[in-house]
Structures are given as structure tokens and as C-alpha cells.
């Protein structure tokens, strides 16, 4: 990693040049919610003035640039009694500006699943390697809990990361491409004062979290609480809409379907993001549904986020952005569900009689 500082005016020139020369996306206000707060999303930008650098958090995550909601995996063309399959892995270069540390951590987790596993996804790889990621730090929202999962800072997974130290940005340069782009702009080695400001900035961010979720031993608590009534309680509220998984930066479950052209001369195989909360997620051929109850479906989303992956890859895949909690129409959120599970466990512990006095 190489560290530099850049004045904010020079930074704007750098970003402006970058977005004018490349297909770029950055945070933009798209609407206001019922509480009259701005709603931000990653949208196309063509100049630095389009970008809201002081945005809070986007409602959807940046995952959709790498895992589109619907993606064509291949095309088939039929001739006589034979067919040809056409597969394209290319992706156009894209610049993504303004990802928060938890968003970048989420990409690192998707990398583990989709690149570092036994069957790497060439579709994901093409998009990931052609995307120039610029991260930016921020003060957490009152309900962010990424610090509880140690995702409030990030040191890999981006090309360039910018920390706001007042008059300047403190740049962490993590790729030769970022270094080359920046060579045409005026940057400096960080001074002792800049390093001090950077340390203060990190401390301020760390001390600004208002929400904490205790995730220690959560994978084993989930094992113990498999039959807990907590799942029925929260499941009764769930609308099975799948919104939580759609906005989540790390939910990656998908379905695959095939469509024939109306003239039967061609067909396509498509991948579509899916959610384990949807009613038909566990339906198999013959119509049997392995998870017919709301509570079971909700439970499996939490098991995937906090247990299954932790067992295989030694980390929970939730990054603590609370997008799912904000988007859920019935108020189901990780903090409330996890706290309920902990209380279940603790009340069990208090039920256990103390060890008999051996004296």
C-alpha cells in the first residue's frame, strides 16, 4: 500500500477526469423517504458535480454491479438436430466511486465465495477485475453496526481508498492503476500532521458508533437455538418479500432458468438473484417445500449469514450495514433478532440450577 495526501480541489479534478474518460457510477440522491431524508443509490455519473461525496449510505448495495439482478449466462442456437452454446465472460471497464468500508468488505466476502472457492465464477471474475473501486470513509449512521463485525475499516479489495482529514483526503493506494492515474495530479507524501489527522479521523469514526450487536459465539448460539421460538416470533412478521436479500451486499443466492425463443431457434440460460425468504426457495421437483414455514425461511437466512459460512470460512458474511433492517417493511432487523436469540440463550442459562454445594 502507498499513502499520499491530496487537496480536496485537486481530488475533484482527479475524479472529474476519471469519470469523463470512463463509464462511472457514484452515489446520487434519487428521492426522499417518508421521513424526508434523502435516498441515495449508485447511479451513472459523468462529471464530479454529479457525485454526492457527503452521502450517508446507498439503499441498495454495490453488489448489483457484480451480481446483476438478472444475468444471461449463455445463449443457445439450434440448427437441424444440433445446437451451439455461446458464452461471453467479457465485462466493460467500470469505475465505482464512494463505496463504504463495509461495502468493500462485502466484495471481499463475495470474492471468497465466487472466486476463491472450488468453482470460481468467470462471470463474476470478469466484472470484478474490470471494476476500479474507489472507497471513501464516513461517520456511521445511528443504526450501522459494522464495527461489531470489524468491517468499519478495510485494507484490501479496493484500488483507492480516501479518508477525509479536513482540507485534504488521505489516500491509500492499493493498485498500480490507481497510482498511474494519480501521477498526473498533485499529491504529496503525508506529513506528520497528516498522519496525526488520519489517526484522529479513525478514532472519531470508531467512537461514533451508536449501535452494537454482540456477535461473539453467535455461530454456536445459532446451533443451540435451532428450535427456538424466536424464529416463530419473527417469522410471523415476515412478508416473504425478499427485499432484505436484494439490498444485502453479501446475499448471493440465485436461481437458473432457461427460456426458449418463440420461434424455437434459440434459447437463453439466465441467472436471477433469489432470496431464501421467498416462499418457493426450497421447493423441489414434485412440489415439496422443505421450508414451508416463514420462521424456517427467516432462520436459514440468519444461519447463512452468521453460521454456515462461519463454519466453512471462519467468518460471518454479514458486514453490519443494516440495509436489510432499514428496508424491511415489518421491522425485522439483525440487532433485534440476534438480541432475542441471546436472551433466549441467557434465560436458558439462568434456568439451569446452580451446582450443588459440595461442602
CA-closest candidate to residue 296, choices 220, 226, 241: 226
What percent of the residues of the chain are helix, what percent strand, and what percent coil, each to the nearest 5? 35, 20, 40
Residue 335 CB burial class (10 angstroms; 0-12, 13-18, ≥19): middle
Task: By CB under 6 A, tell whether 320 contacts ligand SF4.
Answer: yes
Task: By CB under 6 A, tell whether 72 contacts ligand SF4.
Answer: no
Query: Whose Cβ is closer to ligand SF4: residue 131's or residue 305's?
Result: 305
Q: How far is the CB of 206 from ligand SF4 (least distance, A)?
A: 19
Query: Whose Cβ is closer to ligand SF4: residue 175's or residue 339's?
Result: 339
CA-closest candidate to residue 48, choices 10, 19, 25: 19
Task: By CB under 6 A, tell whether 108 contacts ligand SF4.
Answer: no
> Between the CA of residue 272 and those of 225, 275, 322, what are the distances in Å?
32, 10, 23
Contacts of 40 (CB under 8 A, 6+ apart): 27, 28, 29, 30, 52, 55, 56, 57, 58, 59
Query: Whose Cβ is closer to ligand SF4: residue 64's or residue 201's?
Result: 64
Q: How far is the CB of 54 from ligand SF4 (least distance, A)?
A: 21
Task: By CB under 6 A, tell whether 174 contacts ligand SF4.
Answer: no
Report the alpha-carbon distance of residue 270 to residue 261 in Å, rounded.
Answer: 13
Q: How far is the CB of 102 from ligand SF4 (least distance, A)?
A: 7
Task: By CB under 6 A, tell whether 238 contacts ligand SF4.
Answer: yes
Task: By CB under 6 A, tell whether 171 contacts ligand SF4.
Answer: no
Task: By CB under 6 A, tell whether 242 contacts ligand SF4.
Answer: yes
Q: In the set 1, 224, 236, 239, which binds ligand SF4 (CB under 6 A)?
A: 239
Task: By CB under 6 A, tell whether 105 contacts ligand SF4.
Answer: no
Residues 124-163 that bind ligand SF4 (CB under 6 A): none
Q: How far is the CB of 255 from ligand SF4 (least distance, A)?
A: 16
Buried b (16+ CB within 10 A) or exposed e, 257-289: eeeeeeeeebbebebebbbbbbeebeeeeeeee
Region of 45-53, 134-142, 171-179, 330-338 interacting with ligand SF4 (CB under 6 A): 330-338
Task: By CB under 6 A, tell whether 305 contacts ligand SF4.
Answer: yes
Contacts 24+ apart (CB under 8 A), 85-89: 89/122, 89/123, 89/125, 89/126
Task: By CB under 6 A, tell whether 240 contacts ligand SF4.
Answer: yes
**Site residue total, ligand SF4 (CB under 6 A):** 27
Applying CB under 6 A, the residues found at the interface with ligand SF4 are 238-244, 247-250, 277, 298, 305, 318-324, 327-330, 332, 334
Amino acid at each position: 500500500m502507498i499513502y499520499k495526501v491530496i487537496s480536496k480541489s485537486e481530488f475533484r479534478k482527479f475524479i472529474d477526469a476519471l469519470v469523463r474518460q470512463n463509464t462511472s457510477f457514484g452515489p446520487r440522491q434519487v428521492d426522499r423517504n417518508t421521513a424526508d431524508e434523502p435516498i441515495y443509490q449508485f447511479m451513472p455519473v459523468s462529471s464530479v458535480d454529479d457525485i454526492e461525496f457527503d452521502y450517508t449510505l446507498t439503499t441498495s448495495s454495490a453488489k448489483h454491479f457484480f451480481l446483476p439482478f438478472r444475468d444471461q449466462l449463455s445463449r443457445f442456437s439450434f440448427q437441424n438436430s444440433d445446437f451451439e452454446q455461446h458464452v461471453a465472460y467479457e465485462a466493460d471497464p467500470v469505475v465505482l466511486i464512494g463505496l463504504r468500508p463495509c461495502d468493500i468488505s462485502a466484495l471481499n466476502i463475495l470474492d471468497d465465495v465466487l472466486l476463491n472457492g472450488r468453482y470460481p465464477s468467470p462471470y463474476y471474475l470478469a466484472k470484478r477485475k474490470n471494476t476500479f473501486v474507489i472507497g471513501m470513509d464516513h461517520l456511521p449512521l445511528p443504526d450501522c453496526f459494522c464495527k461489531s463485525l470489524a468491517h468499519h475499516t478495510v485494507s484490501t479489495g479496493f484500488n483507492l481508498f480516501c479518508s477525509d482529514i479536513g482540507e485534504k483526503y488521505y489516500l491509500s493506494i492499493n493498485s498500480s492503476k490507481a497510482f498511474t492515474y494519480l501521477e498526473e495530479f498533485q499529491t504529496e507524501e503525508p506529513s506528520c500532521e497528516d498522519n496525526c489527522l488520519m489517526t484522529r479521523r479513525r478514532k472519531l469514526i470508531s467512537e461514533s458508533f451508536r449501535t452494537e450487536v454482540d456477535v461473539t459465539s453467535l455461530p454456536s448460539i445459532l446451533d443451540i437455538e435451532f428450535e427456538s421460538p424466536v424464529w416463530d416470533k419473527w417469522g410471523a412478521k415476515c412478508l416473504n418479500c425478499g427485499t432484505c436479500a436484494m439490498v444485502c451486499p453479501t446475499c448471493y443466492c440465485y436461481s437458473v432458468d432457461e427460456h426458449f425463443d418463440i420461434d424455437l431457434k434459440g434459447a437463453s440460460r439466465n441467472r436471477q438473484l433469489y432470496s431464501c425468504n421467498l416462499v418457493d426457495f426450497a421447493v423441489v421437483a414434485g412440489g415439496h417445500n422443505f421450508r414451508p414455514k416463514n420462521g424456517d425461511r427467516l432462520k436459514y437466512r440468519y444461519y447463512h449469514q452468521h453460521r454456515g459460512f462461519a463454519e466453512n470460512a471462519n467468518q460471518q458474511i454479514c458486514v453490519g450495514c443494516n440495509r436489510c433492517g432499514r428496508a424491511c417493511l415489518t421491522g425485522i432487523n439483525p440487532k433485534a433478532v440476534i438480541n432475542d436469540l441471546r436472551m433466549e440463550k441467557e434465560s436458558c442459562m439462568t434456568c439451569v440450577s446452580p451446582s450443588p454445594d459440595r461442602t
